[in-house]
Structure 1
Amino acid sequence: MLQLRQLDTRRVTEEERRMASVVAKKEEEKRRESHKQSLLKEKKRLTINNIARQWDLQHRVTNIAANQDRKNSDSPSLDPCQMDGSTTSAFPEETGSLDSVLTNALQALSVTDTHLVDVDGDTLSLYGSGALESLDRNWSIQTAGMVTTVSFTFIEFDEIVQVLPKLKMKFPNSLHLKFKETNLAMLQQFNALAQLHRVDQLTIDPQGNPVVNFTLWKYYVLFRLSHFNMQKINGTEQSL
């Protein structure tokens, strides 16, 4: 880098040169930090997209298997194609083809990032079932005390239930639970939340949680979890 020797016909002092160098270094550090944050943000976005695709594929495979089981149980003992005593598929090329495509795609995704743990301010966000293992970590006292909201995304609700005792132990101030794409489908599933000592807020995203289609689901929650004195459900104040 060329050094400035004169400024407005005045000789640049060593102190001015040193200060200019300090300012230049700080600007360079800012640029590097900004670039680093951009990379981390992009990696987070790509990881969440990957987890979402894996979640979608898992449920498509499960639904196909369930539909196939129903078809097999509903089909008569004598297949229309079994006219001469031998069993022949009407479409042999297509049998299981979609299953194998989805399974292969799922296996391909499994080798990349399949879960994400993110702490942003007072919110702990867990994406993908593998993220539940983070509750076994030794979290710092500062982080553990700071978290008041825990968000679960792309994780089966029944899996989440199993780690709720750990959650309250690790994050005692977590009073707001958020569920998105957790396959909450039945009112009875809410009963599992009763094992917690206190929950002030509950947010159930309609996306991936069919239970919200029940008209009275909020009333069920208030009744079943009445000992919590729930303050908000899906952002709405609850008056007792």
Structure 2
Amino acid sequence: MAPSRNLVLLFFIFAFIFLTVTDAAATDYWDKQQREHFARQKPFLNITKISQSDFFLFKKRIEAPEGFYPYPAEMTEMAQFLSQWQVLDPTSPDYGGMIEAESGQLGDVIQTDNTQEAIVVWCQYTAFTGDSITHRQNIDAAWDYIMNFPAYDEEGDPGDDYYRDHNCAWALWGEQWFRWVYSDTTYKWYADSCAQYMMEHRLFLATTAPSLNAFVTGWMAGNLYWYGEQNSSQAYMDSAL
């Protein structure tokens, strides 16, 4: 007697499940060498230093699978986008600062945290491409603004330090990247001052906004510990912990 259609269908379902599970169980974990070998076969995964001419052709040369993006090209676009929103009028008191938003109520707001974030992006672009010229004016102008409006002097009531601490953490990030890329220690004193400010102005979680302070505290601690590692400062690392 021939088996029913339902019985045959059930058989194939169980067979499929069995083969899938046994295949997954038999798949070995890839070690570092195997992962590196796989990456070499997929050019769009290789985010390494390439020539400037190749860099700008990267999006055309690499046909990445749908849903993937050529990140070198994305880095170029991000760096260029940020340069469009920097105040570069030398007569403006906000020269070098980053505009908070493209339009609306924040369209006229210039802040130090965004300016320090932009330095990180421009320096990472420089490190990746080897192009130390395209955004150097942007970086120098940003430092001019930051020197006029340092992170520890940003807005906020006395004793309400979350925004100043947030800015100070970005200062460590920006200065360290600048120092790495340009071998320039001009602003190390500033980063050290920001680190000291965070050590002396810790946030308390027993406030009306504990979630905000907890978030900023995590941001402070992570950057302070990282900066301490990079500069062999046990004091910074201990304070972060």
TM over 0.5: no
TM-score normalised by length of structure 2: 0.31
Kindly indicate which of the two structures has a greater share of residues assigned to strand: 1
